[in-house]
Structure 1
Amino acid sequence: MTDPIDSNRLRKTLALLQQATGGEELAALAAVRRILDTGGLSLSDLVPVNSIAGTRGDDRTSSRPPSSPFAFKEDFDDFMERKEPGYRARMAAEQAEIARQNAAFRQSVIAKYGSEAAALCPTPLEQAINDACKPLIRVRAGYPDDLDGCNPFLFGGLPARVVAVLKAAVPMPTTLQKAASEVAFWEERDHEIRSIMEGCPIEQRLSLACEARRQMVMDALQYDIRAVSVADAIFRVEFLLNSGTYPTEKELQPALDDLRALAAGEENRQAMVQNHSSATSSVSARRSEVIRLLSHPATATLADREIARQVGVSPQTVGNLRRKLATSG
């Protein structure tokens, strides 16, 4: 027996599909198919083939251009109304509530920054990242801008040069909690920009460089940063579960690796994560990491205790190095 389809999720995915381009369009189309599969439906059930071709007998459908099955929104609404009576009324009420919430959020963004123009100005973090990546931005007539040959809004990994520049521009978070905090910042910032630039293309939200940074931090949170406690491993899993999607086996694997390593004991754990651990291990490496954090404007203002916690040294060590840097500077 098939499950009923999530009509609300399907409607939102169709709306995303209408805005998407390139790889995003393929991803959205695949998501539509997955939603329909849960109800034992296919794309042909969503919109009849003769409607797509513009050959249905009634004037309303035959007069529309056969550009895409998803251009026929009225067909979809008719289909859902037959399947779920009252669907149109429910969707109209939901859309009205969404519009009200969006308007309220937009006003809160304007109040936060003082004006629409100010809300669109880069934050200090955005500016630092944009400035660092500016030499890598490639603009070509007739093509989307890219970042050293890569468009972070589409599929594909980031070039090594982009990764190196972004890491040098602003230190990467070294704990799962810090990474989650930065991911939340980027998602909120993206929401703010979209609320001001209503209806803008996806590429006009976060900048290319900032979207690349967001993806890097997300990858660090999901795969690279190692859990140092069971609480960390649970934190990673809870983050994945709260992301609004079903975690894949690949996404859950780091948490399983961490739990196995923690259960095996500290000595075995160090051996298991040595190849991909981002934590520093030697005394000299930890000292260099402290100096790097103290020397960078974005992290120099952190408390000694916080830097000590991130790197794995004592607050006294951080304080001593901070004083040495102050006297030598």
Structure 2
Amino acid sequence: MNIGASTLDTDKLRKVRGLMDRGATAGEQAAARAKAERIAQQAGMTLQQALSTLDSTPSAAQSRNPFAGFDDWMESKEPGYKARTAAERAEKERKRLDRCQELLRRYGSEDAVFAPTSIEEAVRAALEPLEDPENRMWGYCEYSGGKLTPAMWEALRGAVRVPETVQEAWAAYQAHEARQDDRCAFCPDYTPYQWEEVWRDALEHLLDNLRTPSAEGIKVRLMWMREVANLGYARDMCRDIDLIDALEADFNAFVASVQSGRRTAADKAAQVRDLLGSNPGLSDREIARRAGVSPQTVGNWRRRLKPNL
């Protein structure tokens, strides 16, 4: 018995192979191939071996489908079930196509949706020297489980501006996820490139661990916790503990600063960053008045944070 074949996720591989062959762009096809290689690697197989398994057992997935005949069963229990579900699927598809049209108006073309952003391109180039052909699961030397190595962090910091506050990390995370959602509108099974996943892992680590002891920082951290709760899968427990520790430390520091009535330079800088992030339209003079700093200080922070504002 081929143990690898018994652990191969054939349903997922079959879908990904379809994208390898019929992806709308070369980028989609390449991303699908990388995903297929990871699926095969998880089963201890080469991509060729995994694909040959599909070819030799074309109906294996269907024979194991526990939901086969479900629609017929539901129709017997609830007459009209098939018609309702068909209408729901049609409506969902209509909304997807409408969104695709809106995205085409915004981006100009489908290829532009899948084109790498400036950050993605910089991250790809920075991490290229760390690629490891033997690490077919994660792609980079000593990289696994979404935990970046020191060398990877050094490469990122040399290529892009890595967020320094929870607010900055949250804004970068939202921008990244929005682009992924746009791509999924055209290709529901879109699989990110390995460098895109590294950038997302980096942002999640920062959202879990950065210290930003301000009211706005704590507010954004709570927004991130809600996002984590709605991810649809369980994270490593240690990551959740790190997140709670960071929130607790920020909250205690914030309470202590309020109770003492003393505001340090770090407190003022944090408030400036908060105001620039939440109210970028305010003038430097107004932000300076609220934070108790000079307009020049606000201007310096505005120029520093400009790529993320």
TM over 0.5: same fold? Answer: yes
- Deviation, 1:94, is 3.0
Cα RMSD of the aligned pairs, angstroms, is: 5.0
Deviations, residues 213-258 of structure 1 (Å, cap 9, x unaligned) = 111112211x222232234213311332245248975244432332
The 1:112/1:262 distance shift into structure 2, 3 A limit, reads same
1:147 equivalent to 2:133? Answer no
Provide the C-alpha distance between the structure 2 equivalents of 1:96 and 1:318, rounded to a whole number of angstroms.
Answer: 52
Higher helix share: 2
The 1:143/1:127 distance shift into structure 2, 3 A limit, reads closer
Look up the equivalent residue of 1:224 and give its one-letter code.
N
Structure 2 unpaired stretches of 5+: 1-10, 17-34, 41-57, 270-281, 303-309
Query: TM-score by structure 2 length?
Result: 0.56
Aligned to 1:263: 255
Aligned to 1:133: 127
Aligned to 1:192: 182
The 1:156/1:173 distance shift into structure 2, 3 A limit, reads closer
Provide the C-alpha distance between the structure 2 equivalents of 1:173 and 1:165, rounded to a whole number of angstroms.
Answer: 14
Contact 2:130 2:140 in 1 (8 A): yes
1:227 equivalent to 2:212? Answer yes
Look up the equivalent residue of 2:204 and give its one-letter code.
M
Aligned to 1:213: 199
Look up the equivalent residue of 1:214 and give its one-letter code.
R
SS in 1 for 2:247: helix
Aligned to 1:110: 104
Contact 1:139 1:145 in 2 (8 A): no
1:240 equivalent to 2:233? Answer no
Provide the C-alpha distance between the structure 2 equivalents of 1:76 and 1:176, rounded to a whole number of angstroms.
Answer: 46
Matches within 5 A, 1:269-308: none
Count of residues in correspondence between the two structures? 237
Contact 2:13 2:36 in 1 (8 A): no
The 1:102/1:261 distance shift into structure 2, 3 A limit, reads same
Look up the equivalent residue of 2:209 and give its one-letter code.
D
Matches within 5 A, 1:15-164: 65=59, 67=61, 71-77=65-71, 88-139=82-133, 143=136, 146-150=139-143, 155-164=145-154
The 1:23/1:263 distance shift into structure 2, 3 A limit, reads farther
Higher relative contact order (CA 8 A, sep 6+): 2
Contact 1:179 1:217 in 2 (8 A): yes
Aligned to 1:326: none
Look up the equivalent residue of 1:236 and give its one-letter code.
R
Provide the C-alpha distance between the structure 2 equivalents of 1:89 and 1:321, rounded to a whole number of angstroms.
Answer: 58
Provide the C-alpha distance between the structure 2 equivalents of 1:80 and 1:209, rounded to a whole number of angstroms.
Answer: 44
SS in 2 for 1:98: helix
Q: Which segment is superposed worse, 259-268 or 110-119?
A: 259-268
Look up the equivalent residue of 1:259 and give its one-letter code.
F
- Deviation, 1:191, is 1.8
Aligned to 1:48: none
Aligned to 1:295: none
Provide the C-alpha distance between the structure 2 equivalents of 1:199 and 1:22, rounded to a whole number of angstroms.
Answer: 15
Structure 1 unpaired stretches of 5+: 1-13, 26-63, 269-279, 287-302, 323-329
The 1:320/1:18 distance shift into structure 2, 3 A limit, reads closer
- Deviation, 1:318, is 7.6
Provide the C-alpha distance between the structure 2 equivalents of 1:178 and 1:133, rounded to a whole number of angstroms.
Answer: 22
Look up the equivalent residue of 2:252 and give its one-letter code.
R
SS in 1 for 2:120: helix
- Deviation, 1:165, is 0.8
SS in 2 for 1:122: coil
2:246 to 232, 250, 254: 254
1:165 equivalent to 2:158? Answer no
